[in-house]
Amino acid sequence: MSHDSDDPTQETGRHIAIIGMACRFPGSESPEAFWRNLADGVESITRRAPEPVPGARADGTTERYTPARGLLKDPEWFDARHFGYTPREARLISPQHRLFLECASEALDSAGQDPARSRHVFGIFGGGTDIGYAQTLRERRAELPAVTDWEILLGSAPDYLVSRVAYKLGFTGPAVTVQTACSTSLVAVHMAVRALLTGECDVALAGAAAVHAPAKESQYTPGGIISARGQCRAFDAEADGTIGGDGVGVVVLKRLADARADGDRVLAVVRGTAINNDGAERIGYTAPGVSGQAAVIREAQLAAGIHAESIGYVEAHGTATPLGDPIELTALTQAFRRDTDRTGYCWIGSVKTNIGHTDAAAGAAGLIKTVLALQHRQIPPSLHFDKPNPQFDFDASPFRVAARLTPWPVSDGPRRAAVSAFGIGGTNAHVVLEEAPPQSPGEPPASRAHLLVLSADTPTALTATARRLADRLRATAAEGTLSNSELADTAWTLQTGRRELPCRAYAVVRGTDDAAAVLADPDASGLVTASARPEPSPIAFLFSGAAGLGPSPERYATEPGYREAVDACRAAAGLTGEAHEDVLRPPADDGSTTALVASFAHEYARAMTWIQRGIRPDAVLGTGPGTLAAAAVAKALPVTDAVGILLGMTSRPPGAALASEASLTAAFAAASLRPPKVPVVSAALGRALTDGEVTDPGHWARAALCEDETLIGRGLSHLLGGASRILLEASGHRPLLTLAATRPECTDDHLLLPVPVPSADDTAAELDTLGRLWLNGAAVRWHHVHGGRFRRRVPLPAYPYERERFLVEPAVRPAAEDTTAGSGTNPRTSPGTQETGRPEVLPTLLGLYAEILGFADVSASDNFFDLGGDSLVASRLVERIREVFPVDIDVLSVFEAPEPAELATTIEALLTA
């Protein structure tokens, strides 16, 4: 594959956007907090006092180990109500499942995606780690009433981790559990990318979780992968292993072209991914392999279509093990050397130095760190690096360790980075990232008035949501002027990028200061709230035909739907030329045909705009000339015919009839009357028209001439007879609503819109009406509210979870007997002891090999790895050797001398020294 030209605008159709992220890592509960810790070089590790390592050395000295782990804050706390779980269900679901669900939901919020209202297909790929919660539930089953094995399985097994998210958040695309040990989350990203490219889904979540509650004790084995000093020193000469950590990380992915077209916030671009396995070309099942790692890195670069020299940072797997780091650095160098001979140009680091090794979530931690670095254009420090590991020649490699916060200047092309994750068992993953391309700004909005909508599960959560948004708006404004366009983007993100929950509030605001002031005070008059789950009510449109009203020139210029409806009226009237020369002029209240057409166009256009926005009537009622607008909206009368009838009406002096009933009957008879799409309520009859009455020209003539308030009241009473009916006056004024308010049938269950608002701003008044309709449960088509203008999604605060503690504690076990001496023959008392009291090296070593590997005997020339040994078994062998002989050897000694005879020589040399 040829390399690209490094043109940041080049779009191959295979690029994937990261549009949202969420995480829980030690010391941070959000990507923003995570970045602050990374940039400040914070080590989020909890340590206890050093303790002796079980089994003293033969020379009588005692090793000490510092227990250390990256812990999450309150991982057992969960907002069960938000996700629709009872307290009993919440206790039976493992904290790992629960936190993964929380992060998936937060990631969607971060991306501004609501699957319930999106046209896209959503998928999810992810996995977890073994945490033992199911065993705890079984051990304490007697204390958990009526708990079944089935419930325990569903609440804890990794098979159900991602499908639980799909069920709760409404995903209909692939929901696939990934399980590849430490590379799980990055393999999940690779699979999500493939699903997007093949069209299996349009939006994909990827990530993993490793959550232990109560906290896990990392088992220390001398010579193993856990650091004795409790400190992860990746790439350092003093590196002695990693430390454990808990964490959850989830990213939201979308095809880049779709993300840009949808106005999504692109955090970074995935240029290419690859996965493979080391296979058999390594010294043990748990050992890493150079060739496999080099191959997966190169494959990702080729998939990305980029030159290795364009990569400025690598987030390494970086476990700080004496074996792992040199192998990884060697593999990286081999892959990069396919493209470049440059040295020291690419920074490298490991997030494990900050938070520990988060197991299945390790790749997600590295990925999120790297995305944040690309966003902030800075490379955070990799901690505890003093002197380079002598087993790798950094000076001859492309890499240098980022030991402090480092500016990331742009070179010839866009900033690029890479992330690695390697799982025990050999499954490797590598991802090539690129900084986000420049994003198109949102179009200027038509008005300075904006409708902010908020929702939550409870009134307290709603208040917290409003205050969080107020704080965010103030902070954004403090960084620079928050433009009117950006405030419109905020409104758009709230309207389309959040789930619509039961407790709701809205505010019509003009500017950032106004918005922050209204949102910060829950009792502010500008914040209209509803604390009960909305039950959408039927809506009746009212048309008064009030004279003196005409179409709005401002709305005609800025709202496509409104303009289309007015233009239909102009065309029916035979009007040509500039719109402001005809019906858009403020009409005189003189009963002229111009005034009648203007009034009709005004009501018809507003009504059709409401319908375009998703506010559809279940009935219409018109009085006087408004009858024709009602008939046109109900599709009982074509617009052309309605305007023609109006044009046929003669001018009248004040108080005179519009026209004779006979002439109007003839006009309606010539029109194309047809059954309406929604019921038409007759003011004269006080009920909906029958199909026969709808096509009766005489009825329409009488209705068009009817302006008797008594008769109109009968029609309103019919509409108010149903509970919770909404009456919406299409003109935006209130002549019919004022009359409706006096009817005895009108109660608090009815909503009369628009409500009187102290604003001369027609747009603000209409947004207020729309807010009240949304509060009532209306399914608003927000794209049309913004007049079809291109809007962007912007970052907004996460949902304020109201958590409670849900945890089944492990049963208290009696103190275990000391089993540190191992099993089988004790080499210290076996035959072959020298005169010094020290056992003979080779015979004793053969006994240890047999004991650890499970053979009856082992010969001096047998190869440790041919017998089935690996790095973990080597760790146990080294631990036993150190118990018997007063020597300091490590796992590397076993790798360098795999035959017992060779290792015996090494031990004898150390004893002599």
Looking at residue 679, which CATH number applies to its domain?
A: 3.40.366.10
Residue 9: inside a domain: no
Residue 832, pLDDT score: 47
Check whether residue 544 and residue 618 sit in a common domain.
Answer: yes
Active site residue 97: no
Residue 787: inside a domain: no
- Spacing of C-alpha 45 from chain mean position: 27
Check whether residue 526 and residue 545 sit in a common domain.
Answer: no
Provide the sign of the torsion angle of the four alpha carbons 602, 606, 607, 612, taken in this order.
positive
DSSP at 234: T
Check whether residue 242 and residue 317 sit in a common domain.
Answer: yes
Q: Do the bridges between strand 175-177 and strand 122-127 make them parallel or antiparallel, or are there none, so unpaired?
A: parallel
**Coil vs helix vs strand at 378:** strand
Check whether residue 647 and residue 714 sit in a common domain.
Answer: yes
Which residues, including other chains, have CB under 8 Å from residue 199's CB and lie 6 or more apart? none
Residue 796: inside a domain: no
Residue 246: inside a domain: yes
Angle between helix axes 841-853 and 871-884 (nearest 10 degrees) is: 140
Active site residue 317: yes
Check whether residue 420 and residue 461 sit in a common domain.
Answer: no
For 726, the token pair is 């909404």
Instruction: Choose, from 317, 384, 430, 786, the residue flagged as catalytic.
Output: 317
Residue 818, pLDDT score: 39
Check whether residue 163 and residue 221 sit in a common domain.
Answer: yes
Residue that terminates a domain, selected from 435, 466, 489? 435
Residue 114: inside a domain: yes
Check whether residue 205 and residue 244 sit in a common domain.
Answer: yes
Domain count, the chain: 4
Which residues, including other chains, have CB under 8 Å from residue 518's CB and lie 6 or more apart? 507, 509, 524, 526, 527
Residue 7: inside a domain: no
Which residues, including other chains, have CB under 8 Å from residue 5's CB and lie 6 or more apart? none
Cα 375 from Cα 414, distance rounded (Å): 12
Looking at residue 516, which CATH number applies to its domain?
A: 3.30.70.3290
Active site residue 120: no
Residue that terminates a domain, selected from 726, 753, 780? 753
DSSP of 183-233: GHHHHHHHHHHHHHHTTS-SEEEEEEEE--SSPPPPPP-TTSSB-SSS---
φ/ψ of 150, rounded to 5, equals -60, -45
The parent domain of residue 571 ranges over 539-753
Residue 767: inside a domain: no
Residue 611: inside a domain: yes
Instruction: Choose, from 23, 82, 103, 182, the residue flagged as catalytic.
Output: 182
Nearest partner of 106 among 499, 503, 506, judged by Cα = 499
Instruction: Choose, from 15, 190, 212, 357, the residue flagged as catalytic.
Output: 357
- Residue found by looking up tokens 């948004």 in the block: 469
Which amino acid, residue 510?
R
Check whether residue 673 and residue 721 sit in a common domain.
Answer: yes
Residue 56, pLDDT score: 56
Check whether residue 685 and residue 834 sit in a common domain.
Answer: no
How many Cα atoms are found within 13 Å in the side-chain-facing hemisphere of 86?
2
> For the chain, which ranges sit under pLDDT 70?
1-12, 54-61, 481, 576-593, 649-658, 758-760, 813-838
Check whether residue 177 and residue 202 sit in a common domain.
Answer: yes
Check whether residue 359 and residue 498 sit in a common domain.
Answer: no
Angle between helix axes 626-633 and 639-648 (nearest 10 degrees) is: 170
- Spacing of C-alpha 631 from chain mean position: 46
Q: What is the 3-state secondary structure (H, E, C) of 385-408?
A: CCCECCCCCHHHCCEEECCCCEEC
Looking at residue 895, which CATH number applies to its domain?
A: 1.10.1200.10
Q: Do the bridges between strand 619-622 and strand 539-543 make them parallel or antiparallel, or are there none, so unpaired?
A: parallel
Residue that terminates a domain, selected from 530, 548, 574? 530
Q: Does residue 583 contact residue 553 with C-beta atoms inside 8 Å?
A: no
Which amino acid, residue 582?
D
Looking at residue 281, which CATH number applies to its domain?
A: 3.40.47.10
pTM above 0.85, yes or no: yes
Check whether residue 378 and residue 488 sit in a common domain.
Answer: no
